[in-house]
Amino acid sequence: MKTRDILRVFDKLEMEVREGRDTLAFFRWEGQTILWTKVPHKRGELKGKLPHFIRQQLRLNEDQFRAVIDCTIWRKEYVEILCSKGLLPPDEEPD
Amino acid sequence: MSQTVSAEVQNADTQTDVELRQIRDELRQLTTLLTRASSRRPILLYSLRHPHLRLAGPLSVALEYDEEQVIACAPDLDLFGYGDTENEALDDLRCTVADLYYTLKQERGSLGPMSARVWDYLDHVIVEAES
Contact A68, A78 (CB under 8 A): yes
* A interface residues, B as partner, C-beta within 8 Å: 20-22, 24, 26, 29, 31-36, 38, 40, 47-50, 53, 57, 86-89
User: How far apart, in whole angstroms, are the C-alpha atoms of residue A86 and residue A67?
Assistant: 21
DSSP SS3 for B25: helix
User: How far apart, in whole angstroms, are the C-alpha atoms of residue B27 and residue B76?
Assistant: 33
Which residues, including other chains, have CB under 8 Å from residue A82's CB and lie 6 or more apart?
A27, A29, A34, A35, A59, A88
Which segments within chain A are labelled E, that is strand? 16-19, 23-29, 32-39
How close B55 gets to chain A, by Cα (Å)?
Answer: 21
Q: Which of A6, A19, A27, A38 to mutate to test the interface with B (most CBs of B within 10 A)?
A: A38
N- to C-terminal Cα separation, chain A:
34
ipTM of the complex: 0.87
Query: Which CA distances in Å does A82 have to A64, A89, A95, B32?
Result: 12, 10, 14, 31
The predicted structure's pLDDT at residue B9:
82
Residue A15 has pLDDT above 90, yes or no: yes
B4 pLDDT band, cuts 50/70/90, is: confident
User: How far apart, in whole angstroms, are the C-alpha atoms of residue A45 and residue A35?
Assistant: 24
Q: Do A35 and B71 touch (CB under 8 A)?
A: no
A92 pLDDT band, cuts 50/70/90, is: very low
Per residue in B33-81, pLDDT (tens digit) is 777 666 789 999 999 999 999 999 999 999 999 888 999 999 999 999 9
The minimal CB distance from A32 to the residues B66, B96, B112 is found for B112
Per residue in A43-88, pLDDT (tens digit) is 888 988 999 999 999 999 999 999 999 989 999 999 999 999 999 9
User: How far apart, in whole angstroms, are the C-alpha atoms of residue B3 and residue B91?
Assistant: 74
B29 pLDDT band, cuts 50/70/90, is: confident
Q: Do B78 and A89 touch (CB under 8 A)?
A: no
The predicted structure's pLDDT at residue B1:
62
User: How far apart, in whole angstroms, are the C-alpha atoms of residue B89 and residue B15?
Assistant: 51
Contact A2, A45 (CB under 8 A): yes
User: How far apart, in whole angstroms, are the C-alpha atoms of residue A58 and residue A38?
Assistant: 10
